Amino acid sequence: MGFIHDVYATRTDHIMAQTGIYLTWVTAAILCSVALMPLLRPRFVRHSWSAYVDMFRRYWFHMLIVFSVYLWKDPLDQIDRALMASTRIEITPYIYAIEGDVTLWVQTGFKSELLTEVLTHFYVMGYMTAIFSAFIYPIYADDRYMADRIALTMFYVYILALPFYLFLNVRVTGDVIPGMETLAYDLTPEIRNWFVQIDPFTNGMPSLHIGMPFAIWLAFVKWDEDGRWHRFSMALLAFIFLTAFSIVYLGIHWISDVLGGLIIAHFAVLLADKTRESVWGVFDERLIGRRFALLIDNPRLALRKMRKIIQRTVEPYRQASRKQTSVAIVTVLFLTTTILVYDATHQSFPLEGVEVPSEATGEGEWMIAINETANEDTTIIAWNLSTSTSFKVGGAPWPSPPSIEISGERMVIYDGFRYDWFEIDPSSGVISPEVRNDLSYSIHDLGIGTTLDGVSYVALLNSNGIEVSDPYGGGLTIINDAQNVTALTVAGDSIIWATDRGDGPELSIFSVSTETRQSYFVNASSDEETEEGLREAGIDLDPRNGSITEISADGASIAVTVDVGAMRRIVLIDRIMGSSEIISEPAWDAWSPHLTAEKLVYLQITAFAPSEIEDSDVYNDVYLFDRSTPNLPPVSLTSGSASVHQDPRVVSIGAAWLVTTGDDDPILEIYDMEDPFEPYSRILLQAAVVILVPLLMVWTVQTATEGRNNQASESANI
């Protein structure tokens, strides 16, 4: 109990440390902004504590539109992660093809521990300081002329960057370029955890660390007519240059991301200039206060004035013109994009028919689940995912919920001293067992395989070793020395198991056809920098003496869960090359892998929180590693969900798992990776294309006609 208490205390300490780092950055940014104000504010502005109170009263709507972007960030990041998981659309390879290793040269040329630590804190705290100061200084000085323009500029930078973040993902350089590191993200485990919570690591283009301050600097250059903000704009320019170096050096952004930020900044300033009069003509805090007072004093007059404002706003769009056509085009694009994004981010759906699934497994086109309902016998349901039909699985009743193993069209249901062999054939409406086998020993674990001659067999783990038999109970061979087995699986002709011998994680592989054996030592150690960071954080790990708790395999690869002490890691082993790599995040607890030739899914706690809490009590996410793109990191299929997931499986159309939310019963959920869009979405997209063609033609003609008429009017006035 003392050990569990110590681990729980460690977990709490690290959660507090993560929060403390963020609060330290925010507090330091605010203090730096206040401390720098005497140096950077206009000379005529005198410090007054009452001015801090007044700015909230005078500029509350400015604050609302600027800080609203922080309310959008989390849900938009969830949408971005879901889009990335379902569509995998990104332009990182093209950026890398253009730039090559330029950013790597910068990192290797200047790399030092001191510079990394300083620039990491500057990257976060410096950005907060610059943005906070740029917004607060004008409203503190009651410079409404600049405050109006700065607030709109900041808002439009986020708006213009949003489509790039959702639809043109660019990964950070440290995750793509061989030999390059994400120095800022990996400085400490707590910092890594904080970044993961707020950043999907795919929002590289454009860089808002450049785009936002550069847009603000452009706004000051454009509208600071009397030079009152000259000192601040010069300080901001120096900040931009230092930030450009920092984001490249730290392994976060490409040079192209910097260029993208500069372009976004330019258009944000243009858009702010174009819309400032109309926006602040409606949302100026002084006007809002007057309108509210009028509404209280004379509601009828206030409503009449409001109606006139609406009529003046709508009037330009009542007659056929370029403005009217522009609204129609924007409406079509917005509605189409919204529906497509909704479809692409809602890929999972529950399978109906199971009220309380206690266990689920699947492979290929089949998904099998055990249904437990109160006061009823345990039932087993099978779904064919290609036809969306369900079948009852027959066989004698089971006294307790059994376990299921499936391989292709073959299935075994087992519990205690019995196992039933199935050749999955739903033609009769019920999937019935081919044979029932009653044994003299209890089954601890089981796997289904095929010899090199195409003969099916069952590997049965019991207290005496591993017995290999045919589906009808006939013995083939016995592996007597397989003792203290911690995990077992079967892949084709190979039986793979792990043994707890106390000398490190080791796999044994036995060929049924040739009766030969191989052994693999599993290296579950991460890079030295990560391991050192965990040790400094007080986390005791011993990867070399860890134990293997789960195994999943295909013909050429093996995925194992290795318990290294305070956490578990997913390691992928290449049987042909003899190499291995950690697939999961080394500092996060991960388990329950399922491996196929193309994909690997597993569960992971998206937090640096080592603990002894049971899996069923911890929120977790399902992660997918696409083996066809091994250079890309795993993506979360259930990012940020406050749910407990179990039994993830790779199936023909994507992935499947059990999910429990709150006190609700578990649900068997399917994640469709074959087609991110529903049929109605494709029809909608086709209709939108057809509609946009004439709209764009009309818009082009109207633009030319109205331009010619304006020129004629100007000539007549001359």
Q: pLDDT tens, 678-694? A: 666 677 777 877 887 88
Identify the pLDDT of residue 355.
Answer: 62
pLDDT at 376: 64
**pLDDT per residue as tens digits for the range 294-305:** 778 777 777 887
Does residue 616 carry a pLDDT above 60? no
3-state secondary structure 350-413: ECCCCCCEEEEEEECCEEEEEECCCCCCCEEEEEECCCCEEEEECCCCCCCCCEEEEECCEEEE
Identify which of 93, 111, 413 has the alpha carbon closest to the alpha carbon of residue 249: 111
> 3-state class of 257 per DSSP?
helix
pTM metric for this prediction: 0.73
Structure confidence at residue 380 (pLDDT) = 85
Bridge pairing between strands 389-393 and 430-431: parallel
Where residue 238 falls among pLDDT bands split at 50, 70, 90?
very high
Q: How confident is the model at residue 219 (pLDDT cuts 50, 70, 90)?
A: very high
Is a pLDDT exceeding 90 seen at residue 602? yes
Mean pLDDT, range 602-628, rounded to an integer? 71
673 near 653, Cβ under 8 Å? yes
| Whole-angstrom distance, CA of residue 90 vs CA of residue 113 | 32
The residue assigned the tokens 């000539």 is 715
Q: Report the DSSP beta bridge partners of residue 413.
A: 404, 420
Residue 14: per-residue pLDDT: 44
Most confident of 98-112, 351-365, 471-485: 98-112
316-333: average pLDDT: 72
pLDDT tens digit string along 5-54?
333 333 444 444 455 677 888 888 888 888 888 888 887 777 676 777 77
Helix axes 299-314, 285-297, angle to 10 degrees: 130
Per-residue pLDDT at 615: 46
Please provide the average confidence, as pLDDT, over all residues in the chain: 80
Between these two residues, 234 and 90, which has the higher pLDDT value?
Answer: 234
Read off the tokens for 235. 């300080």
Instruction: Tell me the average pLDDT across 161-178.
Output: 82
Q: What is the pLDDT of residue 297?
A: 74
**448-467 pLDDT, tens per residue?**
989 888 888 999 898 888 88
pLDDT at 672 over 50: yes
Inform me whether the pLDDT recorded for 214 exceeds 90: yes
More confident residue, 344 or 575: 575
pLDDT in tens, 60-98: 888 888 888 777 776 777 776 666 666 667 788 888 888
In this predicted structure, the answer to whether residue 99 has a pLDDT above a threshold of 50 is yes
55 confidence band (pLDDT: 50, 70, 90): confident
- The pLDDT of residue 269 is 92
Domains, the chain, in order of start with CATH, read 2-37+63-276 (no CATH), 522-641 (2.120.10.30)
* Separation of first and last alpha carbons in the chain: 92
Q: In this structure, what are the phi and psi dihedrals at residue 595, rounded to the nearest 5 degrees? A: -115, 135
Of 228-232, 402-406, 495-499, 696-700, give the lowest mean pLDDT range.
696-700
**pLDDT of 322 strictly over 90:** no
